[in-house]
A and B are shown apart, each in its own frame.
Chain A
Amino acid sequence: MNAADSQIDYGSANNEHSRDYLTIYIAEQIFGIPVLQVQDVLRSQKVTRIPLAPKEVAGSLNLRGRIVTAINVRSKLGLPISNDDSHDMSVVVEHDDELYSLVIDKVGDVLSLKQDAFEKTPATLNPLWRDISLGIHQMQSELLIIMDVPKLIDSVHV
């Protein structure tokens, strides 16, 4: 297991009033992914480029004998991709029996978020962002976007 895994609290994922989310950072913005969807957290990996693939697809990599398709979330969100990807991290998720690794800037903590602090995604949000957002969670210091992972993956097309 990766060193980053130690940050994940594998505790109960679904209390009565709160859910656990793995927080990630993309361009200073904090996002949350339901912790049960997360399979793995990886440091920057060498990927095989896939010609003709959608621009969001960074490539594919071998994770313990399984082929994982890497998706660059920055690109999906319409953000510039940094040339230096050595500090990138990825979160591996499973969707429809296939593994995808979401390439992001940084992985944060696992937070237990109370259900009552949820808000709908504001309609005025950039459509690229709105599409992959399940809702906004108001934390004390910042706003956390809950990421709709299946939708994010499905929205990647050739």
Chain B
Amino acid sequence: MDDLIAEFLTETSKNLTDLDADLVKLEQNPNDKDLLSQIFRIIHTIKGTCGFLGLPRLEGVAHKGEDVLGLFRDGVLEVTPEYVTIIFESLDRIKYILSELEETGSEPEGDDSELIAKLAAIYDSTKNNDSQIEGMISIDDLVAIGADLSEIDKALEHNAALEAAQAEGSAENNADTEELDTSDKNGDEELLPENVTELKQAAPPVKTPVKAPVSEQDAGPKKKSLGTQSLRVNVDVLENLMTMVSELVLTRNQLLQILRQQHETDFSVPLQRLNHVVSDLQEGVMKTRMQPIGNAWAKLPRIIRDLSMELNKKIDLKMIGEDTELDRQILELIKDPLTHMVRNSGDHGIETPEERLAAGKKETGTIKLEAFHEGGHIIIQITDDGKGLAVDKIRDKVLSSGLATEEELSDMSDQQIQKFIFNAGLSTAEKVTSVSGRGVGMDVVKTNIEKIGGSIDLISTEGKGSTFTIKIPLTLAIVSAMIVESSGEKFAIPQLAVRELVMTSIDGENRIETIKGTPVFRLRDKLLPLVSLEEVLKIGDSMPPIAPKAVPQINDNDAPDETEKSAKEKEKEAAKTENPNAKYLSKYIVVTQVGAYDFGIIVDRVFDTEEIVVKPVARILKDIEMFSGNTILGDGKVIMILDPNGIAKSTGNMDTATSSEQDTDEIYSDVASNKAALLLFRAGNKSPKAVPLEVVSRLEEIKLQDIESANNRMVVQYRGKLMPLVPFSASQAIPEEGSVPVLVFADKDQSMGIIVDEIIDITEQRIDVQVAAQEDGIIGSAIIDGKATDVVDVGHYLNSVNTDWFKDHDDSPFKSGGEADEAGKRILLVEDSPFFRNMLTPLLQVAGYEVTTANNAIDALKLCEQGRIFDVIVSDIEMPEMDGFEFAQKIKADSNWQNIPMLALSSHATPQDMDRGREVGFTNYVPKFDRDNLLNALSETLSKNVG
């Protein structure tokens, strides 16, 4: 291809991309003169260049487009969506011709007369309204009669150059548009003398409107000066550079490895320097490959605009963090998935203006695209405030397509069901539009993102909108990897996929268990499926006999009472083989995450992490899914890089859509602050007990000789006061001497201590109390850290001390105004945290109330609509979606609950909060942990209300 044409193509395609974005901006901002001039300039350049290169089709379209843009610029024509659409059409035509030109080297056959006629029609429409530019029409007519435009333009350019020379030194050196406009006339004068008179007349009035925008154009060059700071480099050169640096990194690693083995050597200082320089170099070269993500977004405004026109929706696209940079290789790979998702949001997500108004939303929907860095990853979020994902529809679709059974679905949360959209063949769009709804899409998006080591997640609330979160690595070329060993062979696992490492033991908490031969591991409160690297890679067989037996060995120890027996077996085994327990004692589980799916890979040993350069595997090995590549380690050995995706796939049925929901739940519960920090301890029997850390004021070790007896109770002098102590359980053996751990609870100015056997840990968990306890002092049991744990009702203990002990002091206990009054009173408890729901419900029940709970304000409002009646509403303030204030306002404003007294619960009440609470209609404000106060306030409120 002609070098000139190649250069022209590069230049033009860049310009056209800019143009797309600019035009969308223009449509929103029709009065932006700078923008107009810029758009005009670009089109003008295209027109000028292609005339010069002899591309008549292109030039014809560009010329007409320029005419119409000229009218915008001069303010003769108003910028309306219709006109912009036609301009876009011309741009598309130009792009089409350009792409053909790129492929074949010449303009394609075709006829643009229809488009040209449209543009001409717009252009003509103005002439009747504005006699001032009547003179321009003659140029138009010239085109119509088929005058040779390229010749005219050549003449025009020539004239322009002359004029520029004349205007040398004048301030108008940037005003090429003006010059051309002027020279237009001159050019025509010379070439077509017949029109001279007409044009001469026309010239002065035309010139006047042009002047104004031109002067404002002077702001233009400032931006352009940035251009001189950068230069264009062929991508191949950069790729090559990157490869070389990768090699250098490997060599550096090798040198460092050698250095580590030799202690005193003259090389150490220069090698350290080399190390630093190489690191810097690597970073530098990496930077050259970095491109702002905005490059991948450039097309989106146009797509959204076209979409909104086509579907009659009003959509506002917000883009945040366009400057966030990432590797161009990754950029290329996510471009299409991103485009697809934004298009989806526009098509499926955002409703029509009517629907939106009906749903009480703003007419214009918003799609927000946001990119930012987070710990070695780029996070891209696509948020829309549309209708969200309809769980019911997805459920039906899932059922009808047989992806899951009704039973399976009934166990799933809404979030889990929504994730089915990532399955192939599931489109929720009711009708197929030209844009989406063809059932291909999200699964492809997901696959593409996972291919580059990223993950995708979604949060969607029906009626509120959806948020898709994509997490992708910064670069693919050099990654940090963890080196593991299995059956004597080393492998690398990309660090990005590794969530954590667990060292297992033969028995006790960290043992691997089996379900019908399948190894699993209890990781905190969930079961982690395990795969043995040895088995998936089939490398155990040829190894010494002990290795393959290792896993089943561990698994034999399922039941605790078998521990002894299996320990004996172990000894036998040990006697048989020379290399005994050490082998299985040091098994590791690499907890790996693929998408939202977690699983563990059992390996024998874990070494350090190393920066590795991913090299593709030989073609004949491409089909092995377990490996994503290979690399050379610092010691010069070749090592295979494991592909977590491949391993997950190989284990079968590892459908990520139905995968560990708890994980995502955890994320949400973080937001909803459902998680509670728990203090784990042991007392009485072996099973662990848990108490919310928030209610514990201190942990103390109290010496036994300090414990005194008063009133038949154990007390200790604590901070100048007597603090009663109670053993956690009656059966608890308290040692004769030494010291005991004590949990100190402080309530108002009273405090008490509970003696326990041992404090185990503090853990942060979402707890789900499963078994309602019969026993006093226990709320129920929950799985915490993989063990059945009793959750302690602190209230019970405080109570026991309070009523018995504090009665003697004047501090009034919560003995309330007559239990009879309270009996059967109905309380609605609105509380988002399951922990507090579980904690408060029994407490209130014990006090004689009939308690109904609602998980959030919205559920509570539903109860209201159902016509349920309560005597008092106790509501949390900090709740997701609708907080307590809003809830109270809604109720007090207009509902059949208007007259029900409301109590606010909060964990951190400030005076302002209290005031606000009273303003919106709460009768009283009670801190969450202040049990006495709550009960007092309740009885007070109720008696008042009755009165």
Chain A positions near chain B (C-beta within 8 angstroms): 47-54, 57, 59-62, 65, 67, 69, 96, 98, 100, 153-154, 156-158
Contacts and interface: CB of A to CB of B under 8 A. Distances in A.
A51 B621 contact: no
Interface string B610-652: 0000010011110110110011100011111000000000000
Contacts of A153: 620
A59 to B, nearest CB: 8
Contacts of A67: 615, 618, 630-632, 638
Interface string B581-618: 00000000000000000000000000000000001001
B640 A48 contact: yes
Contacts of B631: 67
B247 interface: yes
Given A53-B621, A62-B632, A154-B620, 16 more contacts: A48-B638, A48-B640, A50-B621, A51-B489, A52-B537, A60-B638, A62-B636, A65-B247, A65-B250, A67-B632, A67-B638, A69-B620, A69-B621, A100-B618, A157-B623, A158-B623
A62 B638 contact: yes
A52 B540 CA distance: 12
29 contacts: A47-B638, A48-B637, A48-B638, A48-B639, A48-B640, A49-B489, A50-B640, A51-B489, A51-B538, A51-B626, A51-B640, A52-B538, A52-B624, A52-B626, A60-B640, A62-B632, A62-B638, A65-B250, A65-B632, A67-B615, A67-B630, A67-B631, A69-B618, A96-B619, A98-B618, A98-B619, A153-B620, A158-B621, A158-B624
A61 B638 contact: yes
Contacts of A50: 621, 624, 627, 640
Contacts of B479: none
B647 to A, nearest CB: 11
B251 interface: yes
Contacts of B247: 65
Interface string B297-329: 000000000000000000000000000000000
Contacts of A52: 537-538, 624, 626
Contacts of B489: 48-49, 51
Contacts of A57: 620-621
B139 to A, nearest CB: 58
Nearest to A96: B619
B844 interface: no
Contacts of B637: 48, 62
Contact of A60 (B251, B624, B630): B630
Nearest to B542: A49
Given A49-B539, A65-B247, A54 B636 contact: no
A92 to B, nearest CB: 13
Which of B539, B626, B638: most chain A CB closer than 10 A?
B638
A52 B647 CA distance: 12
Contacts of B619: 96, 98
A54 B490 CA distance: 19
A153 B632 CA distance: 23
A110 B829 CA distance: 92
A151 to B, nearest CB: 12
A96 B619 CA distance: 9
Contacts of B250: 65
Contacts of B615: 67
A156 B638 contact: no
Contact of A51 (B537, B620, B623, B632): B537
B539 A156 contact: no
A57 B636 CA distance: 20
Given A62-B632, A67-B615, A157 B626 contact: no
A157 B620 contact: yes
B411 to A, nearest CB: 35
B251 A53 contact: no
Contacts of B539: 49, 51
The 10 closest A-B pairs by CB, nearest first: A51-B537, A69-B618, A158-B623, A48-B638, A60-B638, A156-B620, A51-B539, A52-B624, A62-B632, A62-B638
Contacts of A158: 620-621, 623-624
A69 B620 CA distance: 9
Nearest to B488: A49
B235 to A, nearest CB: 19
A67 B631 CA distance: 8
Nearest to B635: A62
B614 to A, nearest CB: 11
B128 to A, nearest CB: 67
B386 to A, nearest CB: 46
Contacts of B638: 47-48, 59-62, 67
B612 to A, nearest CB: 12
Nearest to B630: A67
A134 B490 CA distance: 39
A57 B622 CA distance: 13
A134 B494 CA distance: 43
Nearest to B533: A51
A135 B850 CA distance: 95
Nearest to A71: B620
A63 to B, nearest CB: 10
Contacts of A48: 489-490, 637-640
Q: Which of B621, B627, B636 has the most CB of A within 10 A?
A: B621
A157 B637 CA distance: 24
Nearest to B621: A53
A69 B490 CA distance: 17
A137 to B, nearest CB: 28
A157 B621 CA distance: 8
Nearest to B248: A65
Contact of B251 (A59, A65, A154, A157): A65
A62 B636 CA distance: 7
Interface in B520-542: 537-539
Contacts of A53: 621, 624
A100 B538 CA distance: 24
Contacts of A157: 620, 623
A79 B419 CA distance: 52
B651 to A, nearest CB: 14
B618 A60 contact: yes
Contacts of B640: 48, 50-51, 60
Contacts of A51: 489, 537-539, 626, 640
Contacts of B626: 51-52
Contacts of B623: 157-158
A54 B620 contact: yes
Nearest to A154: B620
Contacts of B251: 65
A54 B638 CA distance: 18
A111 to B, nearest CB: 29
Contacts of A47: 638
A67 B538 CA distance: 23
Nearest to A47: B638
Interface string B489-525: 1100000000000000000000000000000000000
Nearest to A98: B618
A49 B618 CA distance: 14
A93 to B, nearest CB: 12
A13 to B, nearest CB: 26
A67 B612 CA distance: 14
Contacts of B621: 50, 53, 57, 69, 158
A76 to B, nearest CB: 12
